[in-house]
Chains A and B, each alone.
Chain A
C-alpha cells in the first residue's frame, strides 16, 4: 500500500446515533491510527456497543461521519455474544468469514490458517481445528472467535474491536491475549479494547477513552489516568436525596425469600447491581421460576415478575392494554374458571389511574403505547396482584424521568405496606434507592452492601476488577 502509514484506520467526526428519542451516541470524535490500542470504558448504556456497531458497519450514523481512509477491509469485530456456528468445526467457521477459501482441498489451508492464528494468540491452546464448536467450552469458543478476528482471511487485520474479550477467559489465557494485542499493535495493527477489568485496560491501552451518556468525557494517554480517576470519570455523583430517603425507611421484617445467594426480608427493597450481562437477570429469572409452577397457577401467587426486556419477557403483543394488565390476576378474580370481565375492567381502570398509563381507552392494543407506558402496564400487572414478593428485571429501560420518579414513589409505598422487592437495575442511581444491594461480577455475587455502604463508588468498585490482571 502506498498511502501514509500513519493515516488513521478509522475516523469518526461528530458521529451520532439516535434510536427514536434515545441518543445512544451523541456526537463523538474519535480517530484510531495504526499502532493504537484504544481502551474504551464506560458504564452501562454509555454508548460503547453503539460506537462499536458504527465502526463495524452494523449501523449507519444518524448524523456525522465514519470514514475509513484506507478502506473498510481488515476491520474486524469480536462480539461479546458468541457468534460462531455451533454445528461447524473450528476450521469450517473460518470458512464462513473467509470466502477466499475455495475449491477442493480448501480444508487444508483453512486448518493451517486457524491453527496459525490460534498459535499466535494463544500458544499451547490445545484446540483442534476439526473440533465441532459445540464440543468446546465457552472459553475455547471465545478463543476461536478472537483467533478468527486476528486471522489474515485473505488480507490482513488492520483494526480489531474486542468487546469484553476476556469475560469468559481465565487469567493465564487472558494474559496471552493481552500480550498478543501489544504485539499486534507494535507491528502496526490497531485495536479497540472494551473491558470491565480496569487492570487489563491499563496494561494494553495506549490511550483510554471514557464514554458517558453517549459522549466522550475523557480521552488521554493511559498514563494520564489513575484507576480512581477512571472510575470517577465514568460515574456521576449519587443524589444525596435518594440516599437519605433510603435510610429513613423502617427496619424490615422476617426473611421472605432466600435463593441464589440473595436474601430478602419483608418490606425490604433489595437491589442487584453490577455491569449488564454478569448473571443478574438469569439469577432473577431462576429465582422467579422456582417460586411459581409450569403446571399450576393459584389464586395467591408467591411472587410476580416485572420484565425489563419487554418484547422478550413481558408484553403479550396481540392483546389490549386491559388484558395485559390483568394477565397475572386472572385466577384470583375468576368465577368458576370464567373471567369476571366487569371486575377485570374495574381493576385495570384503577391501575391506569394510579400508575398514570396515558391512553383514552384500555381496549387499545398494548403496542399502541410508548415504551415507557408499556412498562407502566407491566408494573400495573405485577402490583395489581397480592403477591408478597415482586421481582423486577431492570424495569426502567426506556422510561422517561417523570415516570421513573412516580414508580420509585410507588415502590417505596408498596414496600412500606409490607411487600418485598428484588430489583435488578443497570442504573446506579436506582440501586442507591435500595435497602441492600448485591453486586454481581462474572455470574457471582462480588459484594453485599447495605445502608450507608450503598454508594455509586462502592458499586463501581465491586463491578470492575480493580486489581492488576495477574
Chain B
C-alpha cells in the first residue's frame, strides 16, 4: 500500500490531528509532561471512544439514525449500579451486571418505540431519554454514593503503563472492529446502511440488524456510565451531558460516513483523543471556554463539508 493510499484513509486524519494537538500543547512546555498528557488523553478519551463506537454503529445504519438517549442511559446505568453496590466491597461485578441490564433495557425500549410506533429515531430516543433521566433522578435522590473501593481503584488504575479504562476501550474497539470487518452481522449492518432496500432484497434480516445496533449503543453507553462513575468517585446527574455531542462528534471526525454504510473504528479512537487534546491545547494557550467551543464546532462543520465534497457525484 502506498503512502498516498494510506493518507486517503479517513481515520488517518483524526490521528494526525490528535498528534498535532499533542505536539502543539507540548510545544508550550518544551516537551515536559508528555507522559502525563498522553495518560490523561487515554483515560478521558476512553469514555468518548466507548460511547462513540456505539453511536457509530447506529449512524452506520444510515441517515436519520442516531441515539440521543446516550447521556440519560449513562446516568441511569451509573446511578442504579452504584445504588445496588452501595460502596460494599466485592459487588463490582453485580454493579456491572446491573449497568449492562439497564443498557439492554433502554436499548430495547428505544427500538420498540422506533419499530412499533414508527417514530423517527431522533424523537423516539429523545422522548425516551427524558424518562430515563427521571428514573435516574428518582433513584439517585441527590445522593452521591461512592463506588466500592476496589472498583474505584480499578477505574483509576493502570496496567502496563496504560489506564485500565483505556484497555477496556481498546478491547471493545477490537471486538467492534472484528465484528464489522469479519462477521456476517457486520456485513449486514454495513449493507443495511448503504441501501436498506437493497439489503433487504438481498435477503438480509435488516430489522434484526437495526435492533441489535440500537441495543448495542445503549449497552456501550451503560458501560461507559458505569466506568465513568467509578472513575470520578460517584454518579452525578449531569455526568452524561457532554457525551451526547461528543459521541456524534467523534464519529463524524473519525471518518465514519454520515450517509451510512461505512464505519471507522480506529478513527473513533483518534477523534476521541483529538477532542481531549484540542481542549487541553487551547487551555494551555489560555483560550477560554468560548473559543474552545467555537473552534470545536467549526472543526466539526469543516469536516462534514470536506467529507461531502469528496463524495463522488456531490
Contact = CB atoms under 8 A, between A and B. Distances in A.
A and B touch in the complex (CB under 8 A): yes
A170 B202 CA distance: 38
A124 interface: no
Contact of B184 (A315, A317, A319, A337): A337
B205 A316 contact: no
Contacts of B173: none
B184 A339 contact: yes
Interface in B170-222: 182-185, 187-188, 190-191, 194-195, 197-208
Interface stretch (A294-302, A418-426, A460-468): A294-302
B204 A307 contact: no
Contacts of B195: 312, 315-317
A281 to B, nearest CB: 11
B270 interface: no
Contact of A294 (B182, B200, B261, B262): B200
A334 B261 contact: no
Interface string A396-414: 0000000000000000000
Contact of B183 (A285, A307, A338, A367): A338
B184 A328 contact: no
A323 interface: yes
Contacts of B199: 316, 327
B208 A312 contact: no
B261 A316 contact: yes
Contacts of B207: 294-295
Nearest to B181: A339
Given A334-B184, A339-B183, A318 B205 contact: no
Contacts of B190: 318-319
B202 A305 contact: yes
Q: Helix, strand, loop or mixed for chain B's interface?
A: helix
Nearest to B195: A316
A327 B202 contact: yes
Contacts of B312: 367
A293 interface: yes
Contact of B261 (A312, A318, A341): A318
A337 B208 CA distance: 15
Contacts of A383: none
A81 B188 CA distance: 33
Contact of A330 (B188, B194, B198, B261): B188
A317 B203 contact: no
A295 B211 CA distance: 9
A365 to B, nearest CB: 10
A331 interface: yes
Contacts of B206: 294
Contacts of B261: 316-318
Nearest to A367: B312
Contact of A327 (B191, B197, B257, B262): B191
A343 to B, nearest CB: 13
B194 A294 contact: no
Contacts of A292: 200, 203
B255 to A, nearest CB: 13
Given A294-B205, A297-B205, A301-B203, A323 B198 contact: no
B197 A313 contact: yes
A293 B188 contact: no
Choose among A316, A328, A337 the residue with the greatest number of B CB atoms under 10 Å from its CB.
A316
A208 B205 CA distance: 50
Contacts of A307: 198, 201
Contacts of A304: 203
A285 B187 CA distance: 23
Contacts of A296: 205, 208
Contacts of A315: 195, 198
Nearest to B197: A313
A289 B195 CA distance: 16
B201 A285 contact: yes
Contact of B200 (A289, A330, A337, A385): A289
A266 interface: no
Nearest to B192: A316
Given A337-B185, A339-B183, A313 B201 contact: yes
30 contacts: A288-B201, A289-B200, A294-B205, A294-B206, A295-B205, A297-B188, A297-B205, A304-B203, A305-B201, A305-B202, A307-B198, A312-B195, A312-B197, A313-B201, A314-B201, A316-B198, A317-B194, A317-B195, A317-B261, A318-B257, A318-B261, A330-B184, A330-B188, A331-B184, A337-B183, A337-B184, A337-B185, A339-B187, A381-B202, A385-B203
Interface of A: 285, 288-289, 292-297, 301, 304-305, 307, 312-319, 323, 327-328, 330-331, 334, 337-339, 341, 367, 381, 385
* Top 8 A-B residue pairs of the complex, sorted by shortest distance between their CB atoms: A294-B207, A327-B202, A330-B184, A305-B201, A297-B205, A295-B208, A316-B194, A334-B184
